[in-house]
Amino acid sequence: MQTSAFKMLAFVTLLISCGERTQQTEEIFEIPVEFKEGFGPFAASYGSLSPEHTAVDPEAAAWVPTYRPVKGIPKDLKNVTKSMVWLNARQFVYQNFHEGKISREMYEQLQKSWEWVPDELWLSKKPIKSFVYVIRGTDKAGAVVVMIDTNNNLDFSDEIRFTPAEIAGRDNGLNADSLRSYDKSWMVQYEHVINGSIVRDNVPIIVKRAVDYEFPHDYWYTIPLYGQAALKWKGRKYQIWLSNMFDGPEFHHGRIFTDSELSPEKYAGFNKGIEEGEIIMVGSAFDSQKFKYLGIKPGSGSLLLQTVSGDSEKYSLQKGYSFRPFKAKDFRTGKSLVLSDFTGKYVFIDFWGTWCGPCVEDLPELRKIYYETDKAHIQFLGIVGKDSKERLTRFLAKNNLEWPQILSDSTNRLVETYGIQAYPTTVLIGPDGKVVEKNLRGDALRNKLREISKSL
Per-residue pLDDT band for 11 (boundaries 50, 70, 90) equals: very low
**Predicted TM-score of the model (pTM):** 0.79
255: β partners: 243
pLDDT at 10: 32
What count of Cα atoms within 13 Å lies in the side-chain half-sphere of residue 219?
Answer: 23
What count of Cα atoms within 13 Å lies in the side-chain half-sphere of residue 51?
Answer: 14
Contact 242, 251 (CB under 8 A): yes
**394: helix, strand or coil:** helix
Residue 128's nearest CA partner among 185, 199, 203 is 199
pLDDT at 298: 77
What count of Cα atoms within 13 Å lies in the side-chain half-sphere of residue 407?
Answer: 19
Interval 97-156: pLDDT, tens: 999 999 999 999 898 878 789 988 899 999 999 999 999 999 999 999 999 999 999 999
Residues 6+ apart with CB under 8 A from 52: 64, 67, 82, 83, 84
> Cα–Cα distance between 351 and 355 in angstroms, integer?
12
Per-residue pLDDT band for 286 (boundaries 50, 70, 90) equals: confident
Domain ranges of the chain: 17-44+225-308, 51-180, 327-455
What is the CATH number assigned to the segment(s) 327-455?
3.40.30.10
> Cα–Cα distance between 245 and 254 in angstroms, integer?
8
> Cα–Cα distance between 219 and 167 in angstroms, integer?
9
3-class SS shares of the chain: helix, strand, coil, % to 5: 20, 30, 45
> Cα–Cα distance between 363 and 401 in angstroms, integer?
8
Would the pLDDT of 12 be above 70?
Answer: no
> Cα–Cα distance between 73 and 387 in angstroms, integer?
43
Residue 440's nearest CA partner among 431, 449, 432, 430 is 449
Contact 130, 190 (CB under 8 A): yes
Mean pLDDT of the chain: 88
Distance (Å) of CA 412 to CA 270, 325, 367, 408, 435: 29, 12, 26, 6, 21
Residues 6+ apart with CB under 8 A from 191: 124, 128, 129, 130, 198, 199, 200, 201
Would the pLDDT of 275 be above 90?
Answer: no
Residues 6+ apart with CB under 8 A from 312: none
429: β partners: 347, 435
Q: Which amino acid is at 23?
A: Q
